[in-house]
A = this chain, B = another copy of it.
Amino acid sequence: MADLFGGIEAGGTKFVCAVGTGPDDIRSETRFPTTDPQDTIARAIAFFQYEAGSVPLAAIGIASFGPIDSHPGSPTWGHITSTPKSGWAQTDLASAVARALAVPIAFDTDVNGAALGEYRWGAAQCLETFVYLTVGTGIGGGAMVEGRLLHGLVHPEMGHMLIARREDDEYSGRCPFHGSCLEGLASGPALEERWGAKAESLDPDHPAWELEAHYLALGLANLICAISAQRIILGGGVMEQLQLFPLVRDKVRALLNGYIQAPAITEENDRFIVPPSLGSRAGVLGAIALAERSVGA
């Protein structure tokens, strides 16, 4: 019988918990808002205690908002670290769940979880080196490189790459640390603040999208130069504006200007820069994929 896994998508606004083996086999699932750490974590634990009454879980994966400490052996492994989210800084998330449920925990960033889910069942199957970038309230990225999830010193902070503000853009950027980094210029709230309207209320041919695509393309060009990704998956609320995809693809090609000679970039780049394919369960499926990978299943 195949192992059964738990997944926790630990988001800044909601938690999603599920038990299953993959997209076609989710046995049970629950969603609740992220309140304070104690109540939220207790609610996640209670879900699995109830579920685990019937079938034991081989592992639980947690794909968490960050910054986090995901380094095995670190004294603060499993913690959400310096988040500005009220009450959540220095929260021990993973060991709290591990202790309460006596089950192995795989702990990683939400974006690494999403990347792994897409690798396992979605838009990154059979690839070894790719990036998952989410563009929403913030901008964050996860990556698989040569078959391994990228962690490095801490974990990537792709949204904070420093890019050039365009001359015709009078908006100065909203990142409290960097002003006009990628997140400061191109996150959902930046878009809203610049144009004075909710992103989803802007027409698909509003100039907002051309500028948004320009900034995203600058970020992507740098990721391509740094990581040499075989594919880039763009998720998050802002990317639900699908008119962005062809704009971003054209601008990436124009910015790189033929320098990197790879058909994926110079020709068929509708398969190079793509939306995620797991839909609304992407987060929790990513967490289940983390659990599965941790036991070598």
Interface residues of A (CB under 8 A from B): 67, 81-82, 128-129, 141, 145-165, 177-178, 218, 221-230, 255-262, 264-265
Known: A145-B145, A257-B177. A153 touches B222 (CB 8 A): no
Query: Is B177 touching A258 in the complex (CB atoms < 8 A)?
Result: yes
Picked from B226, B261, B264, the residue with its CB within 8 Å of the CB of A81 is B261
Complex contact B177–A225 (CB within 8 A): no
Which chain B residues border A128 with CB–CB below 8 Å? Answer: 152
CB distance from A177 to the nearest CB of B (A): 4
Contact status B154-A262, CB under 8 Å: yes
Residues of B within 8 A of A82 (CB): 261
- Knowing A145-B152, A151-B129 are in contact, say whether A222-B162 is a contact too (CB < 8 A): yes
- Contact (Cβ within 8 A) A229 B153: yes
Interface of A is mostly: loop
On chain B, the residues within 8 Å of A223 by CB distance are 226
- Let me know if B146 and A148 touch, CB within 8 A: yes
Complex-state Cα separation, A152 to B151, whole angstroms = 16
Contact A147 B148 (CB under 8 A): yes
Which residues in B have their C-beta under 8 angstroms from that of A141? Answer: 226
How near does chain B come to A44, taking the closest CB pair, in angstroms? Answer: 25
CA distance A207 to B155 in the complex (A): 35
In the complex, the answer to whether A225 meets B259 with C-beta atoms within 8 Å is no
When the two chains form their complex, are residues B178 and A259 in contact, meaning their CB atoms are under 8 A apart? yes
Q: Tell whether, in the assembled complex, residue B262 and residue A158 are in contact, meaning their CB atoms are under 8 Å apart.
A: no
Query: What are 23 A-B residue pairs whose CB atoms fall within 8 Å in the complex?
Result: A67-B261, A128-B152, A146-B148, A146-B150, A153-B260, A153-B265, A154-B228, A154-B260, A154-B262, A156-B225, A156-B226, A157-B224, A158-B225, A159-B225, A160-B256, A160-B260, A162-B163, A162-B164, A162-B218, A162-B255, A177-B258, A177-B259, A222-B226
- Provide the bound-state CA to CA distance between A257 and B162, in Å: 12
* A221 contact set on B, CB distance < 8 A: 161-162
List of B residues within 8 angstroms of A256 by Cβ: 160, 177-178
| Contact A161 to B228, CB < 8 A, known contacts A129-B150, A145-B146 | no
